[in-house]
Chains A and B, each alone.
Chain A
Amino acid sequence: MTPAGRYPLGALSDTRTHPPVRAARAERTRRRKPLGLVVIPIVLALAGVGLVLLLARGDGGGIPIIGGGRSEEVPPFDFVVRKARAVPTAEGADAKALAKEAEAVADELTPILDELFTTAFLDPAAWRDGDYEAVWARFSDDARAAAEESVETLTLGRAAGETFDAVTPKRGTLGFEVLFDPDGDPISAVASFSFSATGVRTDGTATRILSSGQLFFGNPGHWRITAFEVERADREARVPASPTPSAT
């Protein structure tokens, strides 16, 4: 069938034993196996690393499976109360009894302030969207508008979600002065506070959030902030070693 003379004799000779096709395939297979063993694990490893990073980040409001990154977890925070002092308005008032009452008022106001500062600075569900409604609800009708206008000073800010990845509390201290009416009932209280937290920004840098000042409370029983004087003195900070929230 093959025209003679075009190929060297024997080159296409039917007399060849036919090992060649199967053997060559087998040979090729033998040669490919090591490559698959090398490349596929690399791809899988890279995919795995990517998945881990993605889950750890919890981007876009997702729940992080691995700690750190854009955590949606609310870090626990409690103020430490340094003092609670009574200010009597009646001559010859029972100082001891009022001191106890002042402590009771401090006990009443401290969890309110824990919650207030948690919402204002620590709860990702609030600062991620700049939604501080729960903070404003703590202000009297008169003070609320001024408080909302001061959102950037009183809270982490409207654009905190674009700025921060995580915020963890560092320290919070409180001191109370409680004014009593002549009958010994509390009428007003001032909370002098100092609060600090560390915010890790989306660019990887960090800032120390420092807030201090005084909050005047009125309307005992349904305590509301009637006046305030607050200062922010944020500064650059080192990125914390661990993103794990730590309680004060």
Chain B
Amino acid sequence: MGTMGTRCDRRGPMGGRAARRAALVALLLMAWTLGSTLGTTPGGSAARALPVLQLERARAGYVPTLDGSEPIFILALGSDARPGEEIDGQRADSIHLIAINPAKHRATIVGFPRDAWVAIPGYGTNKINAAMTAGGPDLVVATVESLMGVTIDYWALTWFDGFRAMIDDIGGLRVDVPFDVVYAYARAEIPAGPQTLSGKDALAFARARHALPAGDFGRSENQGLLLVSALAQFRAEFAKDPSRLLDWVGAGLRNMRTDVPLDQLLRLAFTASTLNPRKVTNIVLPGGTGMAGGTSVVNLDQAALQAIAADLRDDGLLRKGTIPPSPNASLLGG
């Protein structure tokens, strides 16, 4: 009390009021300043909620795929040209029609036995592999189009060395080999089971037919299996590192010929990244061996051919009832 009295005495009544006013002004000024500084006015802070901050992982992606309304048909060809030979002037001993349904992220691979006895537009009837000798990839395209009743969008052609280099350029191909494969010609023995095949071994796997009970039919299915394996590997690598797409496109273009324009090829590659390899049906056109003018040929099962062609045309996919049995069924245990 004594202290208070002393202080009051010292300031006097007028000094006390001025100090109180000044303090009030200072407080108001401080409140206004702090309010402005914090971006709020007193009483308004509750209305200002901070948005929830993104602290979880988030991803954004876009790939320019091909239009999904129509199936895309691509003819994959393998020339039996040896080093130094004209690649597209030799027989096409590997012929596969790839049908892609972008909307359903599914595809079908149809293998053609190389000795299939078919009509070659402008060249009468001959083994299908002779079409390339007569007119290059374009004539093989016309032959398959005539046989299947589809319009083929693009073709791609590789050869032994090109195929081997392509596989090596992507660092090998992961394949779940379904049964032991022996290819004496290249002294290759590939055991069953998942493994990464070098270009040399992948080529051996693609060429081996003598040890297969269905010969070229079984080989054609194995070639389709390599395509499916490549798709699975590409997809996995793309998911991990999308820039791998350029390596795959580069490896492909360095080792094959194609009529796919580069920008379309990139789109095709992006489209492939969306395909589910488990949803790819791999078949070989069924048929039986016969003779034509002293030559051993394959007579395609016309009923099966018509059913497969009709089924494939609309959406590029096959119904279960249309899928023929595997030529390697006896080796697969099925």
Q: Which among A6-14, A88-96, A107-115 touches the partner chain? A: A88-96
Interface residue count for A (Cβ, 8 Å)?
Answer: 65
Which A residues lie within 8 Å of B11 (CB)?
A: 31, 35
Q: From residue B209, how far is it (CB to closest CB) to chain A in Å?
A: 28
Judging by beta carbons under 8 Å apart, are A232 and B243 in contact? no
Judging by beta carbons under 8 Å apart, are A233 and B15 in contact? no
From A39, A57, A140, A232, B59 is in contact (CB under 8 Å) with A232
Judging by beta carbons under 8 Å apart, are B64 and A203 in contact? no
Judging by beta carbons under 8 Å apart, are A227 and B62 in contact? yes
Which B residues lie within 8 Å of A53 (CB)?
A: 33-34, 37
Judging by beta carbons under 8 Å apart, are A51 and B33 in contact? yes
Which B residues lie within 8 Å of A35 (CB)?
A: 11, 15, 18-19
Q: From residue B160, how far is it (CB to closest CB) to chain A in Å?
A: 14
Judging by beta carbons under 8 Å apart, are A228 and B61 in contact? yes
Give the most central of A147, A179, A201, A207: most B CB within 10 Å.
A179
A-facing residues in B222-255 (Cβ within 8 Å) = 241-243, 245-247, 249-250, 253-255
A231 within 8 A of B: yes
Which B residues lie within 8 Å of A146 (CB)?
A: 60, 62
Taken together as a complex, chains A and B put the C-alpha atoms of A214 and B12 apart, in Å, by 77
> Given A32-B12, A59-B39, A201-B53, are A87 and B247 neighbors across the interface (CB < 8 Å)?
yes
Judging by beta carbons under 8 Å apart, are A88 and B250 in contact? yes
Q: Which among B196-204, B262-270, B287-295 touches the partner chain? A: B262-270
Which B residues lie within 8 Å of A42 (CB)?
A: 22, 26
From B10, B22, B32, B59, A40 is in contact (CB under 8 Å) with B22
Judging by beta carbons under 8 Å apart, are A46 and B15 in contact? no
> Given A163-B51, A214-B243, are A154 and B22 neighbors across the interface (CB < 8 Å)?
no
Q: From residue B5, how far is it (CB to closest CB) to chain A in Å?
A: 15
Taken together as a complex, chains A and B put the C-alpha atoms of A163 and B200 apart, in Å, by 58
Taken together as a complex, chains A and B put the C-alpha atoms of A157 and B52 apart, in Å, by 12
B50 within 8 A of A: yes
A28 within 8 A of B: yes
B-facing residues in A225-248 (Cβ within 8 Å) = 226-236
Closest-by-CB residue of B relative to A219 is B263
Taken together as a complex, chains A and B put the C-alpha atoms of A50 and B38 apart, in Å, by 11
From A59, A152, A179, B54 is in contact (CB under 8 Å) with A152
Q: Tell me the interface secondary structure of chain A in the complex.
A: mixed
Judging by beta carbons under 8 Å apart, are A89 and B62 in contact? no
Judging by beta carbons under 8 Å apart, are A91 and B15 in contact? no
Which B residues lie within 8 Å of A207 (CB)?
A: 53, 55
Which A residues lie within 8 Å of B270 (CB)?
A: 227
Which B residues lie within 8 Å of A194 (CB)?
A: none
Judging by beta carbons under 8 Å apart, are B37 and A89 in contact? no
Judging by beta carbons under 8 Å apart, are B51 and A162 in contact? yes
Closest-by-CB residue of B relative to A35 is B15
Judging by beta carbons under 8 Å apart, are B33 and A228 in contact? no
B-facing residues in A144-178 (Cβ within 8 Å) = 146-147, 150, 152-154, 157, 159, 162-163, 177-178
B192 within 8 A of A: no
Q: From residue A27, how far is it (CB to closest CB) to chain B in Å?
A: 9
From A51, A89, A147, B254 is in contact (CB under 8 Å) with A89
A-facing residues in B5-45 (Cβ within 8 Å) = 10-12, 14-15, 18-19, 22-23, 25-26, 29-30, 32-34, 36-37, 39
A43 within 8 A of B: yes
Which A residues lie within 8 Å of B58 (CB)?
A: 152-153, 231-232
Q: Which among A15-23, A71-79, A121-129, A180-188 touches the partner chain? A: A180-188
A-facing residues in B286-330 (Cβ within 8 Å) = none
Judging by beta carbons under 8 Å apart, are A179 and B250 in contact? yes
B187 within 8 A of A: no
Judging by beta carbons under 8 Å apart, are A43 and B64 in contact? no
Closest-by-CB residue of B relative to A153 is B60
B1 within 8 A of A: no
Q: From residue B15, how far is it (CB to closest CB) to chain A in Å?
A: 4
Residues of A within 8 A of B (CB): 28, 31-32, 35-36, 38-40, 42-43, 46-47, 49-51, 53-54, 57, 59, 87-91, 140, 142-143, 146-147, 150, 152-154, 157, 159, 162-163, 177-179, 181-182, 187-188, 190, 192, 201-203, 207, 213-214, 216, 218, 226-236
Q: Which A-B residue pairs are the 9 nearest by beta carbons?
A: A50-B33, A150-B60, A39-B22, A146-B62, A89-B253, A153-B60, A87-B250, A190-B243, A35-B15
29 A-B pairs (CB sep. < 8 Å)? A28-B12, A32-B14, A35-B11, A43-B22, A50-B30, A53-B33, A59-B36, A59-B37, A87-B246, A87-B249, A89-B249, A89-B250, A90-B254, A91-B254, A91-B255, A143-B64, A150-B60, A153-B59, A201-B53, A214-B241, A216-B242, A218-B266, A227-B242, A230-B60, A230-B61, A231-B58, A232-B59, A234-B53, A234-B55
Given known contacts A35-B18, A40-B22, what 16 new A-B pairs fall within 8 Å (CB)? A32-B14, A39-B18, A46-B29, A50-B32, A50-B37, A51-B33, A53-B34, A54-B33, A91-B255, A163-B50, A178-B246, A190-B245, A202-B50, A227-B62, A229-B60, A232-B57
